[in-house]
A and B are shown apart, each in its own frame.
Chain A
Amino acid sequence: MTLADAANLHTFVDAFRFIADHPGFLATKAVEQLQLSGAAIGLALLVALPVGVVLGHVHRGSGIAVGTSIVGRALPSLVLIAAFLTLLGIGFVNNMVALAVLATGPILINSFDGVDRVDRDAVEAARGMGMTGSQLLRQVELPLALPLLFTGLRVAAVTVVATAPIAAVAGGGGLGDVIVNQASYRLSGVLGASICVMILSAGVFLALVGLQAVVTPRGVRRTRVGGADPQGKELE
């Protein structure tokens, strides 16, 4: 088993051949995976975003936000998927819920931090101008919190898309179906699907970075891609 011997090269050539031979099949699987990921992220956003924003707005419950993110990070995806499989049965719903739990931590902590840490002077000024609580939230706090809201969404989305293949062990569908089924698709199929999964999650990452750059108001652009929060929350 020496590095890069001829046999290995063959394996990868075969993997790319598999991709070239089955573009429709792989595209279908990729769409399945994106549907599952999208549903999970949507569910997580629905729950975690309002909670994080409201807690941040009233500057309370940092313990809840921090605790959720710590426990959430400590929950291995495989454990979540296996546990929800025993609770909800095999299929789409259990995987969606398991992946949504995974996405909740980063969304909650970043939306909380984003709103909670808005410059106090800006908040004071807005109040001095006579803004009501909801005006303050919509016109000052949310725009200023956008970079962190997006960081949360991006970390959550990349985590979910990257984890979704594991859901195949619990009937999740998607490219993971191919990766965990070497008996049917052989090593070339497994590697081909792995390459597709890589491209897919890198694509999601880059798309969200781009979207963030477009949506963020010019005055608020201060976060850099890849740069970590010293507290270590930027990268999951």
Chain B
Amino acid sequence: MTHAAPPVVIPNFGQGSACVRGDHPFCWDWVRAHWGDTLGPALVQHVELTAIAIGIGFALAFTLALVAHRLRIVEQPIAIFAALLYTIPSLALFQLLVPFTGLSWTTIEIALVAYTLVILFPNIVAGLRSAPADVLEAARGMGLTRRQTLWRVELPLAVPAIIGGLRIAVVSTIAIATVAAFLGPYGLGSPIFIALKEPTPFKTEIYSAGALAVALALACDAALVLLRRLLAPWAGRRLA
């Protein structure tokens, strides 16, 4: 990252309207003026951070869940380990990775993938377990092999639980990724940290970046609910 010398002392205030200089609760003109250089890029970075973490985390969790589904004894230890790992505060985990991977994008992604993994794993396993005994019996009666049962019966029945886990993972990752800005200027947390460092915290920047993060999380959540209705129309219509 190279930081060009900022043209003004307080870059995010810019030259500023009366609204910005007076730090009124919300200044639309600041949002319009800084969409291109601050909020827009931060939003894109936030989506990238989240998408990469979810992609890698889902692949890992899915593989582990298939193993745990086959080898039942490893499930409970992994589940307890995951629950304990999830208690590690994000700020602490980010800091503890710094000696290994530095103040970098990699550090952030490792932490985000870890949280994604511990959320997704128990949900995918629970989903695979949710196939009723008589359904499995019927599958065996129809002559399905274990592998066929997994891919044609257990996995489709697990879709609602997997999407339930994905919803929590995506929303949590979006939330945790805001803290990632503590390590470097990445994502929607970055404008918030910058605004907090002003002598008086700059309200518009906090509210606009915060609102974007919340809107992004809610939009992803809604998209996953739609996906569940598409893939698993038999699952209840309840939202959560």
Q: Give residues in A with beta carbon < 8 Å to B.
A: 1, 3-4, 7-8, 11-12, 62, 66-67, 69-71, 73-79, 82-83, 85-86, 109, 158, 161-166, 169-170, 176, 179-180, 187, 190-191, 193-195, 197-198, 201-202, 204-205, 224-236
Given A76-B178, A235-B86, 19 further pairs, Cβ under 8 A: A74-B171, A74-B218, A76-B179, A83-B206, A83-B207, A85-B206, A165-B91, A170-B196, A187-B98, A190-B95, A193-B92, A195-B96, A205-B87, A226-B82, A228-B123, A232-B165, A232-B168, A235-B122, A236-B86
CB distance from B125 to the nearest CB of A (A): 8
Query: By the criterion CB–CB under 8 Å, are A86 and B126 in contact?
Result: no
When the two chains form their complex, are residues B201 and A202 in contact, meaning their CB atoms are under 8 A apart?
no
Docked CA distance A158–B78 (Å):
19
7 smallest CB-CB distances across A and B, nearest first, come from A232-B164, A226-B79, A79-B210, A228-B122, A74-B217, A194-B92, A76-B175
Q: How far is the CB of A16 from chain B (nearest CB, A)?
A: 12
Residues of A close to B221: CB separation below 8 A: 70, 74
Bound-state CA distance A233–B41 (Å) is 32
* Alpha-carbon gap, A66 to B237, bound state (A): 12
- Look across to chain B and name the residue whose beta carbon is closest to the beta carbon of A63: B239
Chain B residues whose CB sits within 8 angstroms of the CB of A193 once the complex forms? 92
- A1–B97 Cα distance when bound, in Å, is 12
| A contact residues around B182 at 8 Å (CB) | 180
B95, B118, B164, B201: which has the most chain A beta carbons within 10 Å? B95
In the assembled complex, which residues on chain A have CB atoms less than 8 Å from the CB atom of B82?
226, 235
A109 to B98, alpha carbons, bound, how many Å? 36
In the complex formed, the residue of B with least CB distance to A176 is B91
Q: Does B38 contact A (CB under 8 A)?
A: no
Kindly list chain A residues whose C-beta atoms are within 8 Å of the C-beta of B172: 73, 236
Cα of A166 to Cα of B178 in the assembled complex, Å: 11
Q: Does B3 contact A (CB under 8 A)?
A: no
| Residue among A86, A179, A227, A234 making CB contact with B206, cutoff 8 Å | A86
Expressed in whole angstroms, the minimum distance between the Cβ of A208 and any Cβ of chain B is: 10
State the CA gap A76–B91 with chains docked (Å).
13
**With A4-B100, A187-B99 given, is the CB distance from A169 to B196 under 8 Å?**
yes
CA A66 to CA B238, docked complex, whole Å: 9
Question: Which among A7, A79, A179 has the greatest number of chain B C-beta atoms within 10 A?
Answer: A79
Q: Which residues does chain B contribute within 8 Å of A176, judged by CB atoms?
A: 91
A8 to B95, Cβ gap below 8 A? no
Residues A232 and B89 in contact, CB atoms below 8 Å apart = no
> For B207, what are the chain A residues with a Cβ–Cβ distance below 8 Å?
83, 86
Instruction: Tell me if B189 and A78 are in contact (CB < 8 A).
Output: yes
Contact between A201 and B87 (Cβ–Cβ < 8 Å)? yes
The answer to whether A77 and B123 touch across the interface, beta carbons within 8 angstroms, is no
Q: Which B residues between 133 and 163 are near A, CB-CB below 8 angstroms?
A: 160-161
B39 near A: Cβ within 8 Å?
no
List, in ascending order, chain A residues with CB within 8 A of B16's CB. Answer: none
The CA of A7 and the CA of B100, in the complex, are separated in Å by 9
- B240's partner among A69, A163, A190 (CB-CB below 8 A) is A69
B158 → chain A, closest Cβ, in Å? 9
A70–B89 CB distance below 8 A: no
Say yes or no: A1 contacts B122, CB within 8 Å: no
Least CB distance from B210 to A in Å reads: 4
Do the beta carbons of B196 and A225 come within 8 Å of each other?
Answer: no
Residues of B103-145 whose CB lies within 8 A of A = 118-119, 122-123, 125-127, 130
Please name all residues of chain A whose beta carbon is closer than 8 Å to the beta carbon of B167 when the two chains form the complex.
232
Q: Would you call A82 and B79 a contact (CB within 8 A)?
A: no
Which B residues touch A11, using CB under 8 A? 99
Contact B214 A79 (CB under 8 A): yes
CA of A204 to CA of B89 in the docked complex: distance in angstroms?
12
B192 within 8 Å of A (CB atoms): yes
CA distance A227 to B182 in the complex (A): 32
Q: Is the CB of B84 within 8 A of A202?
A: yes
